[in-house]
A and B are shown apart, each in its own frame.
Chain A
Amino acid sequence: MRTIGIIIRKEFIQIFRDKTMLPIIIVMPFVQLLVLVFAATFEMKQINMVIVDQDQSASSRRLISKFEGSPFFTIDGSTFSDEQANDELLAGRSDIILKIPNGFEKNLVSGEVSDVQLLVNAINATVAGLTNAYSNYVIADFNKQMISENVNIIQPVKLKSVDVTYSYWYNPELNYKIYMLPGILVILITIIGAFLAALNIVREKEMGTIEQINVTPVQKFQFITGKLVPFWIIAMFELGFGLTLGKIIFDIPIVGNLGVLFGFAGVYLLVALGLGLLVSTMASTQQQVMFIIFFFLLTFIMMSGIFTPVESMPDWAQKVNIINPFAYFMRVIRMVLLKGSGFRDISREFFSLLIYAAIILSLAVWRYRKTA
């Protein structure tokens, strides 16, 4: 125990003596949370629309004014020429073309079907999908009004229609910040923990200090434990710090038990740091470590479900996620924070990660060689 203690003490002295360390630990959460949470949003605020109104009727103008009234759309041009509108789309100046053909009102009043055409720029599939959905919503609204007005002329009885109202559980206002923040917290503590731990051992190799350590009677597990604990503590601190910032700045809901969250985070970090240490024992330069960790981090983050739901990934991808520690924590942190899940709800993830941690850490201890 004394040996592990002195290694931990030594690591902490070195960490806090490193001038870049404290800024990383304190500033990084601020920047990541403030910048990324605002930036990484799915909400569409400004959809640029070009109108091709070939009808020029009261009804067509009414439809256009509905789009104008929507906070999401900006009408930045109108023309009679299809080509001109297409050019706008091709040049990337507009996101969507609304084409109202001649005879739109006539068909509408005479009770026939009238068409409008929407041409959506689908360079970014997500944006296109959202644009399409918003537009359809506006048109549907217009439709409903037209029907009820026109029907009323003939039939004085007020039309009863089924009114669908939505209620979004766990995030009633579909606030993306609430959705994104826990995910970004996961990335944050992983980057800090895994990178620092991984770079640490290999740095000792580069400096040659590991040579001096290796001739001492330090046992492998003592060495790995001594390297693990300091970064584990820092990453746990980081999680608390990030949550506090989230609560103060974004007022994120903390529905669940924080004890459950931190308990789970503790196990998760064993896996994340263990992976870092494993890479570190195998690599011989910091550069190698950076590339390897970066590769894993990027792959794991993309597949973890931070942006896109895991459920909509293909089957094989979901299987790959079994070895993706991010995916576990990404799910659990949202469950606990937003939904208030208790330990029983996350026990499967908890024990899976526990086994994972045991395997990874054993591998790291086994792979660390005191003899060349």
Chain B
Amino acid sequence: MPDYSIIIQNISKSYGQVKALTDVSFQVEHSEIFGLIGPDGAGKTTLFRILTSLLIPDSGVATVEGFDVVKSYKQIRQITGYMPGRFSLYYDLTVEENLNFFATIFGTTIEENYHLIRDIYVQIEPFKKRRAGNLSGGMKQKLALSCALIHKPKVLVLDEPTTGVDAVSRKEFWEMLAKLKEQDITIIVSTPYMDEASLCDHVALIQKGKIMTIDTPAKIIEAYPDPLYKVSGPNMFNLLNQLRNFPKAKSAHRFGDSIHVAMKGDFGQAEIEDFTKEKGHEEIQVKPVNATIEDSFMALMNTNNDK
């Protein structure tokens, strides 16, 4: 067994003039959840399409469970389960027919691997005679996951599985992934949602086709360089604009119902309070806060852009 489940070395891919991926390298360990976090157009889907043998990279090597994605694409297709970002099961087939179709194509049956999908499938089983096109977003996603799992893949590639899914279903979905991990399945998942990053074992932050950092979520947060403060008050819009131009602050961005302000050097809470008072704000609350993945991502994005 190779040391890593997925090894990506110096992968580059361009579409004409547009560079989708530039010199991407990282490894994914066995049976872990690896998160690929980045905004739309960062190159996540391109990377996944390369991993699932749908695209051939311009340069670089990638292996999945020891199989080269270009040379051994036949093996790759046997051992990977892929859930594309767009729902791509047959709308006019029922839930059961879709599942049976993909099971048969992979040379297996629903019964044989039922244990893998049971937890997910029981939730959509009451609707098994319903056509896939008539399912809700959350149910579609569960069906797609079932179909991607039905052949007992070693590696599961999930492209933005929770985009367009309600908050409750998103939470359920991540619980399911955690269970699958225990079944010795390596999961590589992309998402634009920063809050999901902390549920992964490792995350890679990707932007404009380049990997900015790879680590455990805890370490990425730990590495956050600056003192961070949470600021909230009644006139958020003006406050945000003024804080962005605050010379002692490094950056300020909206975070839910408050603003996260990163300060330069030794500046701290007192300076923010003085500044806001000076600008005529009242009832301003300022307190130190721990960085999140999103803060780290923002910080990395800024340093990357400055370069």
Co-assembled chains A and B: yes
| Interface residues in A157-210 (C-beta closer than 8 Å to B) | 207-210
What's the minimum C-beta distance from B298 to chain A, rounded to whole angstroms? Answer: 32
Q: B77, A217: Cβ atoms under 8 Å?
A: yes
Q: Which of B100-108, B233-241, B288-296 contacts A (4 or more CB under 8 A)?
A: B100-108
> Does A124 reach chain B (CB closer than 8 Å)?
no
Q: Which of B25-33, B49-57, B119-127 contacts A (4 or more CB under 8 A)?
A: B49-57
Q: Quick one: closest A residue to B153, CB to CB?
A: A215
The interface residues of chain B lying within 8 Å CB-to-CB of A319 are none
Q: Quick one: closest B residue to A208, CB to CB?
A: B88
Q: Which of B89-97, B188-196, B255-263 contacts A (4 or more CB under 8 A)?
A: B89-97
| Interface residues in A1-41 (C-beta closer than 8 Å to B) | 2-3, 5-7, 10, 13-14, 17-18
- Known A14-B90, A211-B84, A372-B54; judge A3-B49 contact (CB<8 A): no
> Does A212 reach chain B (CB closer than 8 Å)?
yes
Q: Quick one: closest B residue to A226, CB to CB?
A: B105
Checking A212, A217, A371 against B84 with a beta-carbon cut-off of 8 angstroms, the contacting residue is: A212
**Interface SS of A by simple majority:** helix
The contact size tier of chain A is 20 to 34
The interface residues of chain B lying within 8 Å CB-to-CB of A6 are 100-101, 104-105
> Does B78 reach chain A (CB closer than 8 Å)?
yes
> Does A322 reach chain B (CB closer than 8 Å)?
no
Q: A211, B107: Cβ atoms under 8 Å?
A: no
Q: A371, B97: Cβ atoms under 8 Å?
A: no
Q: Quick one: closest A residue to B79, CB to CB?
A: A217
Q: How many angstroms between the C-alpha atoms of A2 and B101 in the bound complex?
A: 11
Q: A2, B104: Cβ atoms under 8 Å?
A: yes
What's the minimum C-beta distance from B75 to chain A, rounded to whole angstroms? Answer: 9
> Does A155 reach chain B (CB closer than 8 Å)?
no
Q: A212, B104: Cβ atoms under 8 Å?
A: no
The interface residues of chain B lying within 8 Å CB-to-CB of A210 are 88
- Known A217-B78, A371-B73; judge A212-B89 contact (CB<8 A): yes
Checking A2, A14, A212, A370 against B107 with a beta-carbon cut-off of 8 angstroms, the contacting residue is: A2
> Does A216 reach chain B (CB closer than 8 Å)?
yes
> Does A218 reach chain B (CB closer than 8 Å)?
yes
> Does A214 reach chain B (CB closer than 8 Å)?
yes
Q: How many angstroms between the C-alpha atoms of A3 and B108 in the bound complex?
A: 10
> Does B82 reach chain A (CB closer than 8 Å)?
yes
Q: How many residues of B contact A (CB 8 A)?
A: 30
Q: Quick one: closest A residue to B75, CB to CB?
A: A217
> Does B74 reach chain A (CB closer than 8 Å)?
yes
Q: B106, A217: Cβ atoms under 8 Å?
A: yes
Q: A13, B55: Cβ atoms under 8 Å?
A: no
Q: A3, B88: Cβ atoms under 8 Å?
A: no
The interface residues of chain B lying within 8 Å CB-to-CB of A5 are 104
Checking B55, B74, B87 against A217 with a beta-carbon cut-off of 8 angstroms, the contacting residue is: B74
Q: Quick one: closest A residue to B52, CB to CB?
A: A215
- Known A10-B101, A217-B106; judge A208-B86 contact (CB<8 A): yes
Checking A13, A212, A216 against B97 with a beta-carbon cut-off of 8 angstroms, the contacting residue is: A13
The interface residues of chain B lying within 8 Å CB-to-CB of A207 are 88, 90-91
- Known A6-B101, A212-B82; judge A17-B92 contact (CB<8 A): yes
Q: How many angstroms between the C-alpha atoms of A111 and B142 in the bound complex?
A: 100
Q: How many angstroms between the C-alpha atoms of A10 and B99 in the bound complex?
A: 12
Q: How many angstroms between the C-alpha atoms of A200 and B52 in the bound complex?
A: 24
Checking A17, A212, A213, A371 against B53 with a beta-carbon cut-off of 8 angstroms, the contacting residue is: A371
The interface residues of chain A lying within 8 Å CB-to-CB of B54 are 211, 214-215, 370-372
Q: Quick one: closest A residue to B76, CB to CB?
A: A215
Q: Quick one: closest A residue to B53, CB to CB?
A: A371
Q: Quick one: closest A residue to B131, CB to CB?
A: A17
Q: B105, A3: Cβ atoms under 8 Å?
A: yes
Q: How many angstroms between the C-alpha atoms of A126 and B11 in the bound complex?
A: 67
Q: How many angstroms between the C-alpha atoms of A217 and B76 in the bound complex?
A: 9
What's the minimum C-beta distance from A160 to chain B, rounded to whole angstroms? Answer: 77
The interface residues of chain B lying within 8 Å CB-to-CB of A3 are 104-105, 107
Q: How many angstroms between the C-alpha atoms of A17 and B94 in the bound complex?
A: 11
- Known A216-B102, A216-B106; judge A10-B93 contact (CB<8 A): yes
Of B91, B92, B106, the most chain A CB neighbours within 10 A belong to: B92
Q: Quick one: closest A residue to B74, CB to CB?
A: A217
Q: How many angstroms between the C-alpha atoms of A13 and B106 in the bound complex?
A: 20
> Does B12 reach chain A (CB closer than 8 Å)?
no
- Known A208-B84, A372-B49; judge A18-B92 contact (CB<8 A): yes
> Does B231 reach chain A (CB closer than 8 Å)?
no
Q: B93, A212: Cβ atoms under 8 Å?
A: no
Q: A215, B80: Cβ atoms under 8 Å?
A: yes
Encode contact with A along B143-158: 1 for CB under 8 Å, 0 otherwise: 0000100000000000
Q: How many angstroms between the C-alpha atoms of A82 and B87 in the bound complex?
A: 76
Q: A372, B55: Cβ atoms under 8 Å?
A: yes
Q: How many angstroms between the C-alpha atoms of A3 and B103 in the bound complex?
A: 10
Q: Which residues of B contact A (CB under 8 A)?
A: 49, 52-56, 73-74, 77-78, 80, 82, 84, 86-93, 97, 100-102, 104-107, 147
9 smallest beta-carbon distances between A and B, as pairs? A208-B88, A6-B104, A215-B82, A212-B88, A217-B77, A216-B105, A208-B86, A211-B88, A215-B52
List 7 additional contacts besides A211-B86, A211-B88; criterion CB under 8 Å: A3-B107, A5-B104, A13-B93, A207-B90, A212-B147, A217-B77, A218-B105
